[in-house]
Amino acid sequence: MKISSLLLFLSFLFAVTSCSAQNKLVRQVGAVTSVSINGQQIDLSTGQANIQITVYGPSVIRVRMDKAALKDDFSYAVVEKPEKTKLSVVQNNKELTVTTDSIRAVIQKSPFSIVFYNLNGEVINKDEMGLSTSWVGDNVTTYKHLQDDERFIGLGEKTGNLDRRGMGYTNWNTDTYGYATNADPLYVSIPFYIGIHHHLNYGIFLDNTYQTDFNFGASNNRFSSFGARGGEMNYYFIYHKNMRDIIKSYTKLTGRMPMPALWSLGYQQNRYSYYPQNEVLRIARTLREKKIPADGITLDIHYMDKYQLFTWDKSRFPDPVGLTSTLDKLGFKTTVIVDPGIKVEKDAPAYQSGLKNDIFIKYPDSTNYTAQVWPGWCNFPDFTSPKGRSWWENQVSFFAKNGVSGIWNDMNEIATWGQKTPDNILYDYDGRGASNLEAHNVYGLQMSRASYEGAKEQFKKRPFILTRASYAGAQRYAAIWTGDNRAESDHMLAGVRLLTSMGLSGVAFTGMDVGGFTGGASSALFAKWIEIGAFNPYFRNHSALNTKSSEPWTYGEDVLSISRNYISLRYQLMPYLYSSFYEATQNGMPLMRSLAIDNAFDANVYSPDFQNQYQFGAAFMVAPFENGKDFGEVYYPKGAWYSLFDDTKKEGEKSEIIKLTMDELPVFVKAGSIIPVQSIIQSTSEKPTDTLAVHIYNGKDAESFLYYEDDGASFNYEKGDFYKRLITFNPKQKSINFAKAEGNYPTQFKVVKIILHGFEGIEKLDGKNLKNEEYQWLNGNQNIDPQGAASQPKFCKVKTLTLSLLAKETNLNY
């Protein structure tokens, strides 16, 4: 017995000692030992960490913690300061409770953990007890309790399903040529996601620029987590009842996009590469000859002299100013590619200027970091330095002098041959100093910033800035495209999900390479892709070197006709599109919207069968399918929906098998929608006719649309030079209301044409007889002979009324 007891005691002692040794490998946050309350900021300390809780607003609470003292606050992503907020703070020996008019945060003291409640006492989100936050070396991770049936969406440019439950992701901006449809990471890091459970939804933004990792129940059934390979645990918790408001609060924190240049919303014809100069003009003139509306031509790296920045290849482009001027007269704006690498070349002006101004990133021994890219061995500007950004902004004058209107920032992960940027290269980080571990993920963001600010100053009008790599807050400076995709059907649909995910993550201006960058699309795949591209925020056709030409006419007459129709449709929808972009500047709502935004608790929208469906603005729902399918199942969310091309009405919360054809993309219009439409134009430099057609789709609930116009090019809209007007449809009052116009800008339209869909039995509007035998075809030419409509399912019979443009607030009653 004595021997057995001794063995049992020794076994227990060994277990305790072993456990204690193991626990030293993981540094837990520990128990709170002191609390200091100063207005909206609460400082706590434990034996293991320093913690700061800040009420950023009624619906936003920030949590910071570190093993050492918290550093001075700094962020490249967050531009908003805390909002003065009414709150109460109550504490006892066990816990501290912070309450606003939206959230109640309960902070347990021993050990430290947080539970976020709504005011009804429901748990929105809570730390996993026993895990909370901990450090393994410099890696810090916060563990959250995994709720039953919890879903996770967003996280920016991430592949996979809409619902990310059961998956893990890494944020480390990476050059991923021809990436697989399940590849991770990609080019962009946006550490913001939305969680959904029990009819509650919330957002979490981890503002840490080191490599970050997110686990949404991957390889475990206990927790979701987010963490970083260095720096602070620094996250913002956002709660609202509606997902729209979560996106609104997140984009208030990280900023919203400015109004884009109108031309940048048009069709863009790209290739790697168009050269020489005469070939560029041939492409532009062919687009005009074949009546394919377009606004942009993009020049890839072959426009440069041996790929050196701020140069032209004089043999290929002997007269760049003449080229851009001719293109401008044809209605095309020119965008050129720029990479960050500055060739190490003794007599190169950019290199010599960079050396003189000491703007390159460096090793610890103060030598410039050098790596190979297209020009050969290169140095790289430090865009985290005010001096480096200022230098780049001055270099942008080169493009202004040559008539360029857009700057495409590529290879800015940083991408180099070998793809192994050393950890020990050093950045200024706005005077704070940082290694590549901390600065890598913001390099693309800061390059976009320098390009935008330089172009804004040098171009004297709204520039178009495109980027491949970025971080949270990207929307303030640039559009994003999804990089080097492949000409495959699953890539087309993966691209749709990448764009809707970025929309959930605050980036409204996004696109993908229509037709696929690598490989070569079949005619049927290209046709389907360009149909979807017409309903992307940024509409870009782009293909790689050593692939077949990918202009619409290269796929045969049928595909040319389909391309012309859908591109023309986009240009007809330009008033709707431009107004929707204005909405993004005001509240962060993306144009390409996951159905989850308005149907967060409808399980069907997360189903792999329906997750590719999306809304394009408030009115349209697009249902893309993989190429080659004869039939597909569409899910109609709550409400009612009209087929765009024949006005067939569909009841919501049901699914339906529909026939699929190469020439028709399934597009539906939400009941109650208001859609302003103009005549077909060949570029945005061409004025439409003086009639604005306003399509109204009958529904049960009142709906409104904020119509917006400005000059599309200058920054005068910031001074009040805009035309803004709220249009409201109220079925209960049987009225269509045009509110009084706001702003100093005169509208370009003189006549408004009211077009009613689904208003059977109504013969008069505003006391005037409606036309009952007019046929409307949004996807092509107007004024089609009605005799041909019977065999054309894309035509629909509508009721119309044409009026002089209403100058003051007016109710039209039916």
pLDDT digits (tens, 9 = 90+) for 17-39: 444 445 689 999 999 999 999 99
Helix ranges, 534-634 (H): 557-572, 574-587
**Beta-carbon neighbour count of residue 51 at 10 Å?**
24
Residue 611, both tokens: 């997750």
Given this model, what pLDDT does residue 519 score?
Answer: 94
Instruction: Decide if 484 is catalytic.
Output: yes
The structure tokens listed for 424 are: 């020990």
Using pLDDT thresholds of 50, 70 and 90, give the confidence band for residue 796: confident
Question: Which pLDDT belongs to residue 806?
Answer: 83
Q: Mind listing the pLDDT tens digit for each residue in 720-737?
A: 999 999 999 999 999 999
User: In a 3-state reduction of DSSP, which class is residue 292?
Assistant: coil
Q: What is the pLDDT of residues 525-576, one digit of tens each?
A: 999 999 999 999 999 999 999 898 999 999 999 999 999 999 999 999 999 9
Res 46 pLDDT > 80: yes
Q: What are phi and psi of 445, to 5 degrees?
A: -60, -45
Lowest mean pLDDT among 92-106, 183-197, 516-530, 799-813: 799-813
Mean pLDDT of 680-688: 97
Give Cβ neighbours of residue 732 (< 8 Å, ≥ 6 apart).
702
Confidence of residue 40 (pLDDT cuts 50, 70, 90): very high
Contact partners, residue 718, CB within 8 Å, separation at least 6: none
Q: Return the percent helix, strand and coil in the chain, to nearest 5.
A: 25, 30, 45
Q: What is the pLDDT of residue 785?
A: 36
Q: Taking a C-beta distance cutoff of 8 angstroms, is the pair 686, 568 a contact?
A: no
> Is 207 among the catalytic positions?
no
Unique residue bearing structure tokens 């290169």:
378
C-alpha angle 217-221-224 in degrees, rounded to nearest 5 = 35
- pLDDT band at residue 45 using 50, 70 and 90 as cut-offs: very high
Residue 791 confidence (pLDDT) above 60: no
pLDDT beyond 90 at 305: yes
Q: Walk me through the domains of the chain, giving residue ranges and CATH numbers.
A: 27-239 (2.60.40.1760)
Tell whether the model's pLDDT for residue 15 goes beyond 60: no
Hey, what are 229's tokens? 């390979």
- Chain mean pLDDT for the chain: 94
Structure tokens at 612: 């590719």
Phi/psi for 364 (5° steps) reads -60, -20
Per the residue annotation, which of 213, 300, 410, 488 is the catalytic one?
A: 410
Residue 114, pLDDT > 90, answer yes
Continuous segment of H or E residues that includes residue 589: none
End-to-end Cα separation, the chain, in angstroms = 98
Closest CA to 433 of 74, 52, 50, 14: 74
For the chain, the C-alpha Rg in angstroms (whole number) is 28
With b meaning 16 or more CB within 10 Å and e meaning fewer, what string describes 98-132? bbbebbbbbbbbebbbbbbbbeeeeebbbbbeebb
Give yes or no for residue 781 having a pLDDT over 50.
Answer: no
Distance from chain centroid for Cα 554 = 31
Beta carbons of 381 and 396 less than 8 angstroms apart = no
- C-alpha closest to that of 412 among 358, 337, 304, 477: 337
What pLDDT is attached to residue 599? Answer: 98
Considering 150, 438, 484, 531, which one is annotated as catalytic? Answer: 484
Residue 36 confidence (pLDDT) = 97
Beta strands in 731-790 (DSSP E): 735-738, 751-757, 764-765, 768-769, 771-776
Sign of CA dihedral 676, 681, 684, 690: negative
Q: Which helix (H) or strand (E) holds 237?
A: strand 233-239
Percent pLDDT > 90 in the chain is 92
Tell me, rounded to whole angstroms, the distance of Cα 509 from its chain centroid: 6
pLDDT value at residue 418: 96
Question: Could you confirm whether 410 is annotated as catalytic?
Answer: yes
Please state the pTM of the whole predicted model. Answer: 0.95
Helix (H, G, I), strand (E, B) or coil at 169: strand
**Residue 792, pLDDT score:** 38
If phi over 0 gives left and psi between -120 and 50 gives alpha, with beta otherwise, what is residue 712? left
Query: How does pLDDT run across 75-91, given as a tens digit for each residue?
Result: 999 999 999 999 999 99
φ/ψ bin of 593: left (φ > 0), alpha (ψ from -120 to 50), beta (otherwise)? beta
What average pLDDT does range 479-499 have in this prediction? Answer: 98
pLDDT in tens, 280-304: 999 999 999 999 999 999 999 999 9
The predicted structure's pLDDT at residue 797: 83
In the block, tokens 């993004």 appear at: 584
Q: Confidence class of residue 460 from pLDDT cuts 50, 70 and 90?
A: very high
How confident is the model over 508-527, as pLDDT tens digits? Answer: 999 999 999 999 999 999 99
Q: Which is catalytic among the residues 175, 184, 295, 413?
A: 413
Helix (H, G, I), strand (E, B) or coil at 398: helix
Q: State the average pLDDT over residues 679-697.
A: 97
pLDDT at residue number 779 = 47
- Position 717 confidence tier, pLDDT thresholds 50, 70, 90: very high
Report residue 773's pLDDT band, with 50, 70 and 90 as the boundaries.
low
Average pLDDT over residues 746-770: 94
Chain centroid to Cα 686, Å, comes to: 28
